[in-house]
Amino acid sequence: MLYKKMFRDMKKNLSSFITIFLMIMIGIMAYSGIEAYMDGMKETADKFYKENNLQDMIVYGQNFSDNDLKTIKNIQNVKNVERKLSVTGITDNDKTLLINFIESNDISKFYVVKGKGFEKDAKGVWLDEFYAKENNIKVGDKILVKYEEISLKEEVLGLISVPDHLYDVRDESELYPDRKEFGFAYLSINEIPEDYIKSKVMKEMNIQDKNIFDTYLKDFNYKDYIVYNSIMIDVEDKSKRDIVKNEIEDKLKNALAITNVEDTLSYVTYQGEIDEGKTYVGVFSGLFLFIAMLSVITTMTRVVKNQRTQIGTLKALGFSNGKVLFHYIGYGFWISILASIAGLFLGYYFIGTTFINLEMSFFEIPNGHPEMNISSYIVAILSILIVAIITYITGRSILKENPAETLRNKVPNVKGKSLNITKNKIFSKLSFSTIWNIRDVIRNKIRTFMAIAGVTGCCMLIVCALGMLDSMNYFVKLQFKTLYNFNYKLNISENITKSDLNTLYKKYGNHTSKTLNIEIKDKRGNRKSNNIFVTDADNYVRFVDNKNNLISKPKDNGIFVTYKLAQTEKYKIGDKVTWHIYGDNNYYTSKIIGFNKDPQNQNITMTRKYLENLNINYNPDTIYTNVNLSNIKEIKNVETIQNIKALKDGMEGMLSMMKTMLVLIISIAILLGSIIIYNLGILSYTEKEYQFATLKVLGFKDRQIKKIFIKQNNWVAIISIIIGLPLGFYLTDWLFKTAIEEHYDFAASITLQSYLISAIGTFVISYIVSKILSHKINNIDMVTSLKGNE
């Protein structure tokens, strides 16, 4: 019979139970969905890396011979090696292609989406699937690939993904890939034309006449002269890569850099996405689940407390405490079980799949799928338990009383002691409604606390959501307005001649820079890779201090390091940094003469003059210019032209996507906050109905009574805002500082406007909910209310 009562009660309180159901469902959906998506990303990549045999290390150099390859292969722990020529080429319609000429395809194997797999003798090109899709290229189409003097018309043999190209950008200053303009392509090494190599060799040997060349070098095999600039290595035991690295350094003098795959851009970016996501989204979904649970708890408490008389009656009828408790626990139990199952299901199929698909349109990786995380089940079970426990505690506090007490009436047990302070003189000056509310708050500490916690949480979420947007906007401004004080960035070809460079200078000015890849050796002898930004760009590239105020570039007697690098390495001004350029074993020691802040790159900065004083040759790799290039697609000896405005627009496009997400978060925060305020409002209303009815009998106007009622909720809102605003800032700051990848240096920067919106928003929502609740006062039926029973 009690089961019947339970279902009928639920039906009667349908809106409450639907709320509970939805809150638990949404909370668990958010949590488990996001976990599933994060784990899915990891699983998907791990599988792809393993099945398609991602390399463990890469060796970069000018040219690796057959012998070099053999040398590495013979090193202990090396399982397999493969060399390739990777160059940046273009297509006939001015897109940039990262072209790889390969001999075989056992390391970083193709995942063939369409077409056929690699064959050394096949004539044609295997093309980046994303690039192909963006440019509407199909298997069988012919594309033109150009690099230096090579110009190849190739048939597309296959559309592929490759494990070391999940993420590709032309330049690290581009934060997200532009697949329409930039992609990768693979060709067999056999596709390199003999004539091209021959003419290159002739040039080097200074032979003009083909006939002379042919007579002198009768057994010239052009294949011996093909340049390979990197070697991919697959090892047996990843943990022993350092030994392999040292041995290669010893044996291969032409190895410029040896990188573990975990340090490559594609890998780092993908992993960063997972790590960042885990913290960001973890915090959001955690906070969210917390507020959702708070609203469930308050709803449950409200429902049970409203059944006070019925609990008393059941007890009077002889139902044991256990039976009554069991009955009420059942209320939340079945609902939360159903809601949890629905939440887990939707989390996986809705949130997980949606987000994974979103990521998979960004990262080029096949078979993306969500992966259920164990913690999701634990959270679901915990949620069910928490609801049960809360019901238990609420029910028990009522059951602890004698049934006589429970049934006596709803007039709450006023304990004099705790209220004594309110009998103080100071209080006598306050208005009746203030005293009344102070006493009410003191008597209902837990309820007040829950209300403040809930509203604070919501205020925090709003501040944090708006704050993230602000901070990102601030970052865009800092990067693209303050630090980058130019319109175009030209990446100069590597082998440019002096005179060609001068031609460029004449046209676009001589504001240049060079980035040196270096290794820093610390006091204990450990080496870490980093880079030095050598500036000869005047105020085209500017610098800021910790407070984002402009500072001038370093003097010619030392280096700047970024704040974050200084922090992690514990550098102080005056400290010395010892470093060497990759491929050069000369070590230099530089004095730190200042710090600068860089949001995207934690490195060292020096001037051209300082570099030249160290007797290092300065050959720039970048020109900065304000010459209008809006109609120019291609410049001789310039690999890529980057338009700062386009970069900025790209960033802002990403921000607007983020906006949609944040709007969603804010709406949900508002919804949850409203539910909490509503529940606690009803709870306090029910307790006070008797008193309100009395006031009404005494002749108080509804308006006056409403004012008393709303007052308390306003207090709660104000206190919550006071706590929520700074906490919101700290949360945002924390997210930016700890959750973000190592080479970023972001901080929260929240505008006054956002604080105001959050504060006013929170208050208005609370006020509206109180206002709605206070309408109940119009409907108080004095007679029945004062009887004190249902």
Partner 1 sequence: MKESLIILKNVKKTYKVGEQEFSALDGVNLKINQGEFVVILGPSGAGKSTLLNLLGGMDKVTSGSIKIGENDIAKYNDKQLTNYRARDVGFIFQFYNIMPTLTVEENVALIKDVTDTNKKVEEVLKSVGLLKHAKKFPSELSGGEQQRVSIARAVMKNPKILLCDEPTGALDSKTGADVLKLLKKQADNDTTVIIVTHNSLIAEVADRIIRIKNGKVESNETNKHPKNIEEVKW
CB-nearer residue toward partner 1: 315 or 542: 315
How far, in whole angstroms, is CA 161 from its chain's centroid? 23
* DSSP structure string for 111-159: EEEEE----TT--SEEEEHHHHHHTT--TT-EEEEEETTEEEEEEEEEE
CB-nearer residue toward partner 1: 358 or 404: 404
Binding partner of 173, given partner 1, ligand ADP, none, CB within 5-8 angstroms per partner class: none
Question: Closest approach of Cβ 733 to ligand ADP, in Å?
Answer: 53
Beta-ladder partners of 234: 80
Max intra-chain CA distance, the chain = 121
104, 82 contact by CB (below 8 A): yes
Binding partner of 313, given partner 1, ligand ADP, none, CB within 5-8 angstroms per partner class: partner 1
Binding partner of 724, given partner 1, ligand ADP, none, CB within 5-8 angstroms per partner class: none
Question: Closest approach of Cβ 312 to partner 1, in Å?
Answer: 8
One-letter amino acid for residue 41 of the chain: M
CB-nearer residue toward partner 1: 12 or 223: 12
Question: Closest approach of Cβ 673 to partner 1, in Å?
Answer: 30
Binding partner of 323, given ligand ADP, partner 1, none, CB within 5-8 angstroms per partner class: partner 1
Residues whose CB is less than 8 angstroms from the CB of residue 586 and which lie 6 or more positions away in sequence, other chains included: 580
Beta-ladder partners of 491: 622, 640
State the residues that interact with partner 1 by CB under 8 A: 1-2, 4-5, 8-9, 11-12, 309-310, 312-313, 315-321, 323, 402-405, 407, 414-417, 787, 789-790
Q: Distance between CA 346 and CA 34 in Å, rounded? A: 11
Binding partner of 790, given partner 1, ligand ADP, none, CB within 5-8 angstroms per partner class: partner 1
CB atoms within 10 A of CB 750: 22
Binding partner of 2, given ligand ADP, partner 1, none, CB within 5-8 angstroms per partner class: partner 1
Q: Distance between CA 676 and CA 453 in Å, rounded? A: 10
CB-nearer residue toward ligand ADP: 172 or 405: 405
- Which residue in 270, 263, 259, 362 sits closest to 46, CA to CA? 270
Question: Closest approach of Cβ 472 to partner 1, in Å?
Answer: 52
CB-nearer residue toward ligand ADP: 263 or 405: 405
130, 179 contact by CB (below 8 A): yes
CB-nearer residue toward ligand ADP: 405 or 494: 405
CB-nearer residue toward partner 1: 8 or 70: 8
Classified as helix, coil or strand, 571 is coil
Binding partner of 689, given ligand ADP, partner 1, none, CB within 5-8 angstroms per partner class: none
Place of tokens 């990848």: 741
Binding partner of 104, given partner 1, ligand ADP, none, CB within 5-8 angstroms per partner class: none
Q: Distance between CA 628 and CA 626 in Å, rounded? A: 6
Binding partner of 316, given partner 1, ligand ADP, none, CB within 5-8 angstroms per partner class: partner 1
Phi, psi of 788 (to 5 degrees): 80, 15
Is the Cα torsion angle 599, 601, 603, 605 positive or negative in sign?
negative
Question: Closest approach of Cβ 21 to partner 1, in Å?
Answer: 19
291, 462 contact by CB (below 8 A): no
Question: Closest approach of Cβ 398 to partner 1, in Å?
Answer: 14
CB-nearer residue toward partner 1: 354 or 420: 420
Binding partner of 1, given ligand ADP, partner 1, none, CB within 5-8 angstroms per partner class: partner 1
Question: Closest approach of Cβ 418 to partner 1, in Å?
Answer: 11
Question: Closest approach of Cβ 410 to ligand ADP, in Å?
Answer: 13
Which H or E element spans position 155? Answer: strand 150-161
State the residues that interact with ligand ADP by CB under 6 A: 405, 408
CB-nearer residue toward partner 1: 11 or 218: 11
CB-nearer residue toward partner 1: 195 or 790: 790
Half-sphere exposure of 10 (CA within 13 A, CB side): 20
Question: Closest approach of Cβ 9 to partner 1, in Å?
Answer: 5
- Which residue in 2, 690, 689, 693 sits closest to 311, CA to CA? 2
Binding partner of 251, given ligand ADP, partner 1, none, CB within 5-8 angstroms per partner class: none
Question: Closest approach of Cβ 319 to partner 1, in Å?
Answer: 5
Q: Distance between CA 687 and CA 683 in Å, rounded? A: 6
Question: Closest approach of Cβ 414 to ligand ADP, in Å?
Answer: 10
CB-nearer residue toward partner 1: 310 or 762: 310
Instruction: Give, to the nearest 10 degrees, the angle between helix 702-738 and helix 445-477.
Output: 50
CB-nearer residue toward partner 1: 4 or 506: 4
State the distance between the two ends of the chain, measured CA to CA, in whole angstroms. Answer: 21
Alpha helix ranges (H) inside 644-781: 644-697, 702-738, 752-778
* Helix/strand number for the chain, H first, E second: 23, 21
CB-nearer residue toward partner 1: 420 or 539: 420
CB-nearer residue toward ligand ADP: 20 or 311: 311
CB-nearer residue toward ligand ADP: 408 or 711: 408
Q: Distance between CA 441 and CA 712 in Å, rounded? A: 8
Binding partner of 525, given partner 1, ligand ADP, none, CB within 5-8 angstroms per partner class: none
CB-nearer residue toward ligand ADP: 249 or 405: 405
Q: Which two tokens stand for residue 343?
A: 């939440």
Question: Closest approach of Cβ 399 to ligand ADP, in Å?
Answer: 16
Residues whose CB is less than 8 angstroms from the CB of residue 190 and which lie 6 or more positions away in sequence, other chains included: 120, 121
Binding partner of 315, given partner 1, ligand ADP, none, CB within 5-8 angstroms per partner class: partner 1
CB atoms within 10 A of CB 418: 12
Binding partner of 4, given ligand ADP, partner 1, none, CB within 5-8 angstroms per partner class: partner 1
Residues whose CB is less than 8 angstroms from the CB of residue 248 and which lie 6 or more positions away in sequence, other chains included: 59, 72, 75, 255, 258
CB atoms within 10 A of CB 284: 24
Question: Closest approach of Cβ 411 to ligand ADP, in Å?
Answer: 9
Binding partner of 318, given partner 1, ligand ADP, none, CB within 5-8 angstroms per partner class: partner 1
Q: How far is CA 16 from CA 297, 390, 448, 604, in A?
A: 11, 16, 20, 59
Binding partner of 619, given partner 1, ligand ADP, none, CB within 5-8 angstroms per partner class: none
- Which residue in 583, 554, 579 sits closest to 569, CA to CA? 579
Instruction: Give, to the nearest 10 degrees, the angle between helix 14-51 and helix 644-697.
Output: 160
Question: Closest approach of Cβ 694 to partner 1, in Å?
Answer: 17
Work out the burial of residue 176: count CB atoms within 10 Å of its CB; fewer than 13 is exposed, 13-18 middle, 19 or more buried: middle
One-letter amino acid for residue 464 of the chain: C
Question: Closest approach of Cβ 274 to partner 1, in Å?
Answer: 50
Question: Closest approach of Cβ 725 to ligand ADP, in Å?
Answer: 44
